[in-house]
Amino acid sequence: MKVEHKGHTTIIRDTESDSGVFLEKVTNQFATFKETNVILDMSHDASLDIKAVKSFQDLAKKFKKEKKSFVLVTSAIDFNDVPSSLHVVPTLLEAHDLIEMEEIERDLGF
Protein backbone atom coordinates (compact mmCIF):
# COMPACT_ATOMS: atom_id res chain seq x y z
CA MET A 1 0.00 0.00 0.00
CA LYS A 2 1.44 3.33 -1.07
CA VAL A 3 -0.04 6.59 0.25
CA GLU A 4 0.26 10.00 -1.42
CA HIS A 5 -1.34 13.28 -0.31
CA LYS A 6 -2.44 15.88 -2.86
CA GLY A 7 -4.19 18.88 -1.35
CA HIS A 8 -7.43 17.72 0.29
CA THR A 9 -7.17 14.24 -1.25
CA THR A 10 -5.30 11.08 -0.26
CA ILE A 11 -4.40 8.61 -3.00
CA ILE A 12 -3.87 5.06 -1.77
CA ARG A 13 -2.34 2.64 -4.28
CA ASP A 14 -2.80 -1.11 -4.04
CA THR A 15 0.69 -2.58 -4.41
CA GLU A 16 -0.19 -6.20 -3.67
CA SER A 17 -3.02 -6.87 -6.18
CA ASP A 18 -5.12 -8.53 -3.46
CA SER A 19 -8.33 -6.56 -2.96
CA GLY A 20 -9.26 -8.36 0.27
CA VAL A 21 -5.98 -7.53 1.99
CA PHE A 22 -6.09 -3.99 0.59
CA LEU A 23 -9.65 -3.45 1.89
CA GLU A 24 -8.63 -4.71 5.33
CA LYS A 25 -5.61 -2.38 5.50
CA VAL A 26 -7.58 0.69 4.42
CA THR A 27 -10.47 -0.15 6.77
CA ASN A 28 -8.08 -0.59 9.70
CA GLN A 29 -6.56 2.83 8.98
CA PHE A 30 -9.90 4.60 8.42
CA ALA A 31 -9.28 6.99 11.33
CA THR A 32 -6.09 8.16 9.59
CA PHE A 33 -7.85 8.98 6.32
CA LYS A 34 -11.35 10.09 7.42
CA GLU A 35 -10.47 13.79 7.31
CA THR A 36 -9.60 13.74 3.59
CA ASN A 37 -11.15 12.63 0.34
CA VAL A 38 -9.80 9.23 -0.66
CA ILE A 39 -8.95 7.70 -4.01
CA LEU A 40 -8.16 3.99 -4.00
CA ASP A 41 -6.02 3.32 -7.05
CA MET A 42 -6.54 -0.30 -8.00
CA SER A 43 -5.78 0.21 -11.68
CA HIS A 44 -2.85 -2.25 -11.65
CA ASP A 45 -4.98 -5.17 -10.42
CA ALA A 46 -6.20 -6.90 -13.60
CA SER A 47 -7.83 -9.69 -11.58
CA LEU A 48 -10.27 -7.30 -9.88
CA ASP A 49 -13.92 -8.31 -10.31
CA ILE A 50 -17.29 -6.76 -9.47
CA LYS A 51 -17.60 -8.82 -6.27
CA ALA A 52 -14.33 -7.37 -4.98
CA VAL A 53 -15.45 -3.85 -5.91
CA LYS A 54 -18.75 -4.31 -4.07
CA SER A 55 -16.85 -5.31 -0.92
CA PHE A 56 -15.79 -1.65 -0.59
CA GLN A 57 -19.41 -0.45 -0.07
CA ASP A 58 -19.26 -0.35 3.74
CA LEU A 59 -16.06 1.69 3.64
CA ALA A 60 -17.63 4.08 1.12
CA LYS A 61 -20.57 4.62 3.49
CA LYS A 62 -18.19 5.54 6.32
CA PHE A 63 -16.58 8.25 4.18
CA LYS A 64 -19.99 9.54 3.09
CA LYS A 65 -20.98 9.94 6.76
CA GLU A 66 -17.82 12.03 7.24
CA LYS A 67 -18.87 14.16 4.23
CA LYS A 68 -15.80 13.06 2.27
CA SER A 69 -15.49 11.54 -1.19
CA PHE A 70 -14.42 7.94 -1.77
CA VAL A 71 -13.50 6.86 -5.30
CA LEU A 72 -12.15 3.58 -6.69
CA VAL A 73 -9.99 3.66 -9.81
CA THR A 74 -10.07 0.57 -12.02
CA SER A 75 -10.83 -0.23 -15.61
CA ALA A 76 -11.03 -4.01 -15.09
CA ILE A 77 -14.81 -4.16 -14.56
CA ASP A 78 -18.08 -3.39 -16.32
CA PHE A 79 -19.19 -0.03 -14.91
CA ASN A 80 -22.87 -0.89 -15.50
CA ASP A 81 -22.61 -3.51 -12.73
CA VAL A 82 -21.37 -1.04 -10.10
CA PRO A 83 -23.91 -0.14 -7.38
CA SER A 84 -24.91 3.53 -7.22
CA SER A 85 -23.48 3.78 -3.69
CA LEU A 86 -19.95 3.43 -5.09
CA HIS A 87 -17.97 5.81 -7.28
CA VAL A 88 -15.79 3.83 -9.68
CA VAL A 89 -13.89 5.50 -12.52
CA PRO A 90 -11.27 4.26 -15.01
CA THR A 91 -8.56 6.93 -14.45
CA LEU A 92 -7.02 9.04 -11.70
CA LEU A 93 -7.88 12.22 -13.58
CA GLU A 94 -11.58 11.30 -13.55
CA ALA A 95 -11.33 10.50 -9.83
CA HIS A 96 -9.93 13.97 -9.12
CA ASP A 97 -12.65 15.55 -11.29
CA LEU A 98 -15.36 13.64 -9.44
CA ILE A 99 -14.00 14.76 -6.07
CA GLU A 100 -13.91 18.39 -7.24
CA MET A 101 -17.57 18.16 -8.32
CA GLU A 102 -18.58 16.63 -4.98
CA GLU A 103 -16.65 19.33 -3.09
CA ILE A 104 -18.56 22.01 -5.01
CA GLU A 105 -21.87 20.24 -4.25
CA ARG A 106 -21.03 20.09 -0.52
CA ASP A 107 -20.04 23.77 -0.53
CA LEU A 108 -23.40 24.61 -2.09
CA GLY A 109 -25.25 22.53 0.48
CA PHE A 110 -26.39 19.59 -1.64
CATH number at residue 71: 3.30.750.24
pLDDT surpassing 90 at residue 47 = no
Residue 100 has phi, psi (to 5 degrees) of: -60, -45
CA dihedral sign, ordered 67, 21, 83, 77: positive
pLDDT class for 39, splitting at 50, 70, 90?
A: very high
User: Which are the contacts of 12, defined by CB distance < 8 A and separation ≥ 6?
Assistant: 1, 2, 3, 4, 26, 33, 38, 39, 40, 41
Range of the domain at 83: 2-108
Cα–Cα distance for residue pair 23/14, rounded to 1 Å:
9
Digit-coded pLDDT (tens) for 57-95: 999 999 999 999 999 999 989 989 999 999 999 999 999
Domain count, the chain: 1
